Amino acid sequence: MKDHDRDGAEAPLRQRTRLVHAGVKRSQFQETSEALFLTQGFVYPDAEAAEARFKGEDPGYIYARYGNPTVGMFEERIASLEGAEDAFATASGMAAVNAAMMCMLRAGDHVVAARALFGSCLYIVETLLPRFGVEITLVDGRDLDAWKAAMRPNTKVAFFESPSNPTLEITDIRAVSEIAHAAGARVVIDNVFATPMFQRPLEFGADVVVYSATKYIDGQGRCLGGVVLGSKDYVRGELEPYLKHTGGAMSPFNAWVMLKGMETLALRCDAQAAAAARIAQALQGHAKLARLLYPGLADHPQHALAMAQMTAGGGVISLDVAGGQASAFRFLNALRIIAISNNLGDAKSLVTHPATTTHQRLSEAARETLGITPGLVRISIGLEDPEDLLEDIARALAAA
């Protein structure tokens, strides 16, 4: 197989082939595995070449804060997977979320966001943006009338996650994109829970997709990373100037780990989603559960919408353990295989109690609005045998 060059001129290969080959650039040694270019800078053959590169007349690399060959391979691979014109990799998922929005906002603009957001995303929208004169409106992401009513002449961005963390609410990407575009706003979606394997928001009208690559893209709990994807005009015209001058670049080492992670992304996501579906089905109607949230289940209130925009329910399930926080804590403490951690998307199954960890900063009323009840636990299903996980959960529910 030939190298897939920058202009993406290869025949349209299928997803799993792209995950392994897209973006590969071989050095003069023709190595099989992607090279790790652990370098901050690049040398120029002469002063004229340096001048040309800074003027943008020569496309070569300048400095790793602007770009690096290993990071470039990762950006190209994920852009190819997502069907995006371009991508810029970042140091973490939060650097991606921050840059994706900050690069297109100024004082006097207005942002509409779904209320059900990852804690740090909520901090950016609710606390940080207003400090710089950006007005914000938070809505129920499931309520299209609320999105419509929130739009104003100065609305520039609509932002949401789908499925959301930790209650797995689904937002209609196509409908919200139409509402936002009619108001002259652009749509930024945090696609971490769906993964690029199960949901490609650009196909539904979203303008910008962000990932925490820390989660499923690494997939083995090693490195932080993020990426922002969108049109070439957006990535090179708005995002790159913001990121290259504010320093949110991904480390080449982390990009190399992410490239290796992507080679197994399809296999891992399929296995994790299949295990999550199996476990959710088996737990349905369990006497110790007040609620079971998994969009892949037919009786999930938004199942039809979830399946219209996702090809699987994903690898996260949330359980509301009957009896509140004390029962939820007994459940967590009784688990033997599933470890207590706030991360997700790892090969190892992880469980979180959002009300006392990731969402403890919120008021009780705010948590209640979001459905983050005292009994709610979020489980990121890993790559263990699903039957062992099910036995672990059943045992811990008995102890709850």
Ligand X SMILES: *Cc1c(COP(=O)(O)O)cnc(C)c1O
Residues that bind ligand X (CB under 6 A): 92-94, 97, 118, 120-121, 161, 165, 190, 192, 212, 214-215, 224, 226
Measured between alpha carbons, how far is 346 from 271 in angstroms, rounded to an integer? 12
Nearer to ligand X, 17 or 343 (CB): 343
Residue 27 to residue 262: CA distance in whole angstroms: 20
- Identity of the residue, 148 or 222, whose beta carbon is nearer to ligand X in the bound complex: 222
Q: C-beta of 49: minimal distance to ligand X in Å?
A: 36
Please tell me the distance from the alpha carbon of residue 399 to that of residue 288, in angstroms, as a whole number: 10
Angle between helices 252-263 and 265-283 (to 10 degrees): 60
SS3 letters across 265-298: HHHHHHHHHHHHHHHHHHHCCCCCEEEEECCCCC
Q: How far is the CB of 274 from ligand X (least distance, A)?
A: 21
| Identity of the residue, 121 or 377, whose beta carbon is nearer to ligand X in the bound complex | 121
Of 24 and 91, CB closest to ligand X: 91
* Integer Cα distance of 140 and 113 in angstroms: 9
* Residue with Cβ nearer ligand X (93 or 252): 93
- Between the two ends of the chain, the Cα-to-Cα distance in Å is 54
What is the distance between the alpha carbons of residues 114 and 68, in angstroms, rounded to a whole number? Answer: 34
Shortest Cβ distance from residue 386 to ligand X (Å)?
Answer: 22
Least Cβ distance, residue 16 to ligand X (angstroms): 24
Query: Strands 186-190 and 350-352, how do they pair?
Result: unpaired
Of the pair 53, 222, the CB lying nearest ligand X is at 222
CB-based closest residue to ligand X: 93
Name the minimum Å distance from CB 132 to ligand X: 20
Amino acid identity of residue 78, one-letter, is: I
Could you tell me the smallest distance in angstroms from the CB atom of residue 225 to ligand X? 7
Pairing outcome for strands 186-190 and 155-161: parallel
